[in-house]
Chain A
Amino acid sequence: MKNKMLNQYNIVLKKELKDAFRDKKSILATFVLPLILFPLFFLIIGLSGDSLTEKAVNPRLTIVQGDAIASLSTDSEEYQYFNDNIFSLNSSLQVSYVEVEDFKQSLIDGDIYLAIIVTNTFLNDIQDTTKSVDIQVIYDDRSTSGSTAAGVIVDLINTYSEKLLADRVNEIDPDLSMEPITGNSLSLSQAYDDINRYGTDSAILHLIIPMLLTMLISIGGASIATDLVAGEKERNTFEPLLSTGASRFSILSAKYTVIIIFSFLSAIAEVLSIVLSMLLTKDVFATSAFSSIYLPVDGVILVVFNLLMLAALFSGLLLILTSTSSTLKEAQSKSTIVMFLPMIIAFATMYVDVADVSMWTMCLPIYNVIISIKLLLAGVMNYAYLWGALAINIVYAVLSVFVTMKTFSKESLITK
């Protein structure tokens, strides 16, 4: 009996996989999109980042004196002072000086990124060692280019101020230390070679990978799931299928497995895509985070089982939705609602401190899997949490399988 059911399961599984891999739309949604999404995302981020950097090192600015609204000319001594002493501190900086009649209006119109306001007695004041010279940098706070460029200019002004102070101190006493105290922070793994922690400074490792991996494991098989029952109903193949010698349990188990396989394949495609993107754009993102990674085998196994249980939970949910739908469209609408759930929960984990995670959160599906992956990636092997989450996820998966079986054996599956 068991052999017979296993044989039927294999027949349905083989057919469903063959059918699914011939479906271009499913392949596109499950593999191609996850594969190209990240390189595309990184490329866009990289391009906009490059553009922002370019604007920061080539800022369009002007200098205004006192209460005036018009710029100083490039012949002015003040401009020459800035150019010779401050802008020249950064060799890659190429200032585009713009002479404007009304700096405020020019800032609003985006003609300049920032305006440097100096006092009427700027040149005299800066020579006076008893005075502190106030320089204001005004930028449009709606503009990222403006705030970035303002940051660069203010940093240069402060650097010049330190340089000026150092020169003045040096004149008084050349042996005087300019840094009587220096403070440096070191993480445990930086301070001690025997501690394997990778730090939480890599957003890719600690935010994006756990979130995306979990979301795709949950809903990566959604497009194939809608086709598996609702699609069959719509094409009038479902009733003939149920009228064959195969048991409903064999048919259901095979369809269940197909969704889990597609969820995992989708997640693997996504991870490959991330690694590929990081390798392609290594100058933008920290690949060193990956090179220093150490993943304990038992931790990896626990996380993989947690992911498997989550896939089982969501495959069941998706099968229930598609089984209670008469058409593909209805199944797709219902799946869309389910797709929001992992997204919302995933966002709630964004700023969780893995070193101080609340144990009760192991009861929350999706959330507990994301935290488990974060713990593993951060090298914080909180086994109580990992085992607890696995136990809870097994319970959810079993419940999901049970409810799915109940739904699949209902007569309303056919009569609706």
Chain B
Amino acid sequence: MLSLNNVTKVFKKYDKNFVAVDDLTFNIKEGEIFGLIGTNGAGKTTTMRMIATTLKPTYGDIKVCGYDSVKDDAMVRKCIGVLYGGDTGLYDRLTARENIEYFGQLNGLSDEAIKKQMDYLVEVFGLADYLDRRCGTFSRGMKQKTSFARAIIHNPQVMLFDEPTSGLDILASEDVLNFIKQCKKMGKTILLSSHNMQEVEELCDRALIIDRGQTLCTGTLSQILELTNTKTIKEAFIKLVKREN
């Protein structure tokens, strides 16, 4: 469903090359949650951005639902739903309904399809009470739920979560984790970028540990523990990153 083959991303700044992602290869099957684990600046967000087509790989190729991320970028974007971490980006002067509808329209959904999907999402996330209120007045939790609905209004096959719990309190983080589990139940293919080992252990089927753009280890969580001879993913991660440094 999602595959990266020898993907490298090089940024040029002041005639100097900086390799943000170096020869990254992995694939994710349908209905699977795959964790991309790394410290800040490891290359997780750059990888996410390349999959979301906002950045182009310098080398290698990315396939999403069979579409190439460079040649068929518009089709790729229709197949994915993206949820970025930290402060949820909503248009404060638009209502929750208008925010969700806007993304549905941009993803090519008909008015009828938007209405049908909206009814479903309103029920799933309990948005009915504030659906027609402007988002600027929302609490963090209300914003979070609205952005979940917005991310999947077009019923994407692949979901990208870039450090989704970053900066959230424990209750808001719990909502995010439950949402990701819900997406898995819906059969979505999920890529979760995180540096929170606890949520990786709770959610992921397989994972890849990345440091300074390079793959340190990949496999199922039990394979990673076995390879590193550790008991937790946190220990495995620290051992791998320290060995590399």
Q: Which residues of A contact B (CB under 8 A)?
A: 4, 8, 11-12, 15, 18-19, 22-23, 232, 235-247, 411, 414-415
Beyond A19-B91, A236-B86, A239-B84, whether A244 also contacts B103 by CB under 8 A is yes
A232 cross-chain contacts in B, Cβ below 8 A: 89
B55 engages A414 (CB within 8 Å): yes
Roughly how many angstroms separate A235 CA and B87 CA in the complex, as a whole number? 8
Contact A23 B93 (CB under 8 A): yes
Q: Shortest 7 CB-CB distances between A and B: which pairs?
A: A236-B89, A237-B89, A244-B106, A22-B93, A245-B107, A246-B106, A243-B82
Contact of A243 with B108 in the complex, beta carbons under 8 Å: no
Give the distance in Å from the alpha carbon of A236 to the alpha carbon of B102 in the complex. 16
Given the complex of chains A and B, what is the CA–CA distance between A124 and B86 in angstroms? 96
Contacts of A236 in B (CB 8 A): 84, 86-89
Please tell me which one of the listed residues B49, B56, B77, B84 contacts residue A244 in the complex, with CB atoms under 8 A apart: B77
Partner of B94, one of A12, A19, A245, A246: A19
Number of A-B contacts (CB under 8 A): 78
**B36-75 near A? 1/0 per residue, CB < 8 Å:** 0000000000000100111110000000000000000010
Closest to B11 in A: A415
Sample (25) of A-B pairs whose CB atoms are under 8 Å apart:
A11-B102, A11-B106, A15-B102, A18-B98, A22-B134, A235-B87, A235-B89, A235-B91, A235-B92, A236-B87, A237-B90, A238-B89, A239-B49, A239-B52, A239-B89, A240-B82, A242-B52, A244-B77, A244-B106, A245-B77, A245-B106, A245-B108, A245-B154, A246-B106, A415-B11
| With A232-B89, A241-B106, A244-B103 already in contact, 16 other A-B pairs whose C-beta atoms are closer than 8 Å | A4-B108, A11-B102, A15-B91, A19-B91, A23-B93, A235-B90, A237-B90, A239-B84, A240-B84, A242-B54, A243-B52, A245-B74, A245-B108, A245-B154, A247-B74, A415-B49
Closest to B73 in A: A247
A229 to chain B, nearest CB (A): 13
Q: Which residue of B lies closest to A414 (CB)?
A: B54
Give the chain A neighbours of B78 by CB distance below 8 A: 245
By a CB distance below 8 angstroms, the chain B residues around A241 are 106
Q: Which residues of B lie under 8 Å from residue A22 when comparing CB positions?
A: 93-94, 134
Question: Closest B-chain residue to A251, C-beta based?
Answer: B106
Interface size on B, residues (CB 8 A): 33
Distance A268 CA – B151 CA, assembled complex (angstroms)? 40
Chain B interface residues toward A at CB < 8 A: 11, 49, 52-56, 74, 77-78, 80, 82, 84, 86-94, 98, 102-103, 105-108, 134, 150-151, 154
CB closest chain-A residue, reference B13: A412
Write out the residue numbers on chain B whose beta carbons fall within 8 Å of the beta carbon of A18.
94, 98
> Chain B residue with minimal CB distance to A4?
B108
Complex contact B94–A8 (CB within 8 A): no
Minimum CB–CB distance for A243 against chain B, Å = 4
Q: Is the CB of B93 within 8 A of A243?
A: no
Query: Does B102 contact A243, Cβ atoms closer than 8 Å?
Result: no
In the bound complex, what is the Cα–Cα distance between A45 and B164 (angstroms)? Answer: 59
> A23-B93, A239-B84 are known contacts. Are A411 and B106 too (CB-CB below 8 A)?
no
Q: Which residue, B52, B82, B105, B134, has most C-beta atoms of chain A within 10 A?
A: B105
Q: Which residues of B are found within 8 Å of A4, using beta-carbon distances?
A: 108
Rounded to whole Å, the gap between the CB of A338 and the closest CB of chain B is: 25
B-side contacts of A247, CB under 8 Å = 74
